[in-house]
A and B are shown apart, each in its own frame.
Chain A
């Protein structure tokens, strides 16, 4: 009986321990306003974040963080997003980093991030949507509809600044996202495949071909493998997509902020 009581107490203690949710460290951030922490946060930001979010946090491939802050994001939310990443996007989790590193990054962002965004989506969104259906949807998916050979754009409005979108439409070869680089290969039995590289090592390559079949190939079974320099995404210079249509298209893309796929 004593053992039972002990067991029960142990279980209760365990349950109570589980019951209290871990407090978000950003609720009490000791680094806010501390010049030394802000300098450390800047260094961390530049190595870990700036590649996607831009040196000025104005957004490059990743969202404009000044807009995120101006939009009212709390420090707790920032902490959660940095710690866990964002599933379904290129934003990775910072699983193994100490809380303090993340808190110093937040302190740095708070120091710089009070400027309202300058490039809110504009243009004729309806015309942008029409253009998208006609010109883009064969390769890009939105909310489960469209092609798969290009990146899924379901939440591109939250993950790309306007200037990044313009750049990627006008000059897509300037930067090709990982897992979308063009390759063509010929197998030893003469099969020709062109598509995008999903993954690769010394011995094998994984490809989605232009018919959207995903498949791995052992390099020992290939007679030819060519890494093409250009994206499968065609460039849309002004002669093909005038500034007004581009503005509308980007306006429409800015509205793509995730889809609710919940079954009602």
Chain B
């Protein structure tokens, strides 16, 4: 991961932290998908965060999805299953 990517993630993480200092589910999930897994699907972390917050507004079970994504440990096949189980379409 290059320095610019680390810097951008710190910046966005700082902004996505709630008042109590707890990180949001979206922030943790995007750190995993964009940061740890380094998936090309996400052009930047902001895009991931915006998509995640939009999903949350549309009844996705983001907390469960985050747990599922973290457990998947960058197994792309498993991460797709997490979306199918907890994402927007699963909760429509």
To the question of whether A and B form a pair in one complex, the answer is: no
Identify the A interface with B (CB < 8 A). Answer: none
Identify the B interface with A (CB < 8 A). Answer: none
